[in-house]
Homo-oligomer: A and B are copies of this chain.
Amino acid sequence: MPINPGADIEVLTLDRVPPMAQGYVKDLRVRWALEEAGLSYRESFLPGVIGGDKGSAHLESQPFGQVPIYREAGLSLFESGAILLHVGSKDERLLPSDELQRARTTAWMFAALNSVEPFAQSLFLVGHVSENKSWHDDARDAVRPFLQTRLKQLSAALGDREWLEGNFTVGDLLMVDVLRSIAEEALISAHPNLTAYVERGTARPAFRLALAAQLDAFERNERETA
């Protein structure tokens, strides 16, 4: 079990988030990668709630007041993509050491974070800011097709393969987490191969352990301050 209070690697996340965000906070990606690699880590917590003002200590380590933050022997690292590159460099199952394979893996990491997630995020953001406005449905209907196009393209690229590029890598880890976080389930289920891909990813023991660890931490923190 990689959570170990004496571990060198430290993963910082928020101590509490709203119930709907639990299970989707991005420290999950880092916990998942560490579980895949069998690397122990300890947890630390910064004052939540998401969207609230962040303390200066938080902003010093994470300029955008986000989580996770990763610390290890002189290194303080932010952005889950960068953390996964770093963790991947410790385990070639996650990030191949072969130069060409590694480059292709990073292409899928950036694709998840820069070509798919932003359109999911735009759809979410537009829905969020238009709550109770007359243009709520119009705005979501206008933005949704951009995400749908990306999912259709991703489905075509995946085809009937198990993972995006040979074996499971941090590229798949990020893509699966981006896809599972899309709130409108119908967008994914329109593509049976994407549904199966997300199921394969989230069925991995390392994912299960990472998710349980995140949920457990929120529950524990809540209990301790109740």
At the interface with chain B, which of A2-10, A57-65, A180-188?
A57-65
Q: A118-B121, A126-B143, A143-B129 are in contact. Are A107 and B77 (CB under 8 A)?
A: yes
* B81 and A110 form a contact (CB under 8 A): yes
Query: 0/1 per residue, A163-197, Cβ < 8 Å to B?
Result: 00000000000000000000000000000000000
Cα A81 to Cα B142 with chains together (Å): 28
Mark A63-94 against chain B: 1 for CB-CB distance below 8 A, else 0. Answer: 11110000000110111111001100100000
**Which residues 94-122 in A have Cβ within 8 Å of B in the complex?**
99-100, 103-104, 106-107, 109-111, 113-115, 117-118, 121-122
Which of the candidate stretches A12-20, A39-47, A149-157, A212-220 sits at the interface with the other chain? A149-157
Q: How far is the CB of A104 from chain B (nearest CB, A)?
A: 7
Complex formed: what's the CA distance from A59 to B149 in Å?
13
Interface of A is mostly: helix
Cα A74 to Cα B104 in complex, Å, equals: 11
Q: Are B118 and A117 in contact, with the CB atoms below 8 A?
A: yes
- What's the least CB distance linking A53 to chain B, in Å? 11
Number of copies: 2
Q: Which residues of B lie under 8 Å from residue A113 when comparing CB positions?
A: 81, 110, 113-114
State whether B156 touches A142 (Cβ < 8 A). Answer: no
Bound-complex Cα distance A77 to B105 (A): 10
Q: Which chain B positions have C-beta within 8 A of A111? A: 63-64, 78-79
Does A138 make an interface contact (CB < 8 A)? yes
13 residue pairs of the A-B complex, CB under 8 angstroms, read A59-B153, A63-B111, A74-B100, A75-B103, A77-B103, A79-B110, A81-B110, A81-B113, A82-B107, A85-B103, A110-B113, A114-B117, A125-B146
Binding site for B on A (CB under 8 A): 59, 63-66, 74-75, 77-82, 85-86, 89, 99-100, 103-104, 106-107, 109-111, 113-115, 117-118, 121-122, 125-126, 129-130, 133-135, 138-139, 142-143, 146, 150, 153-154, 156-157
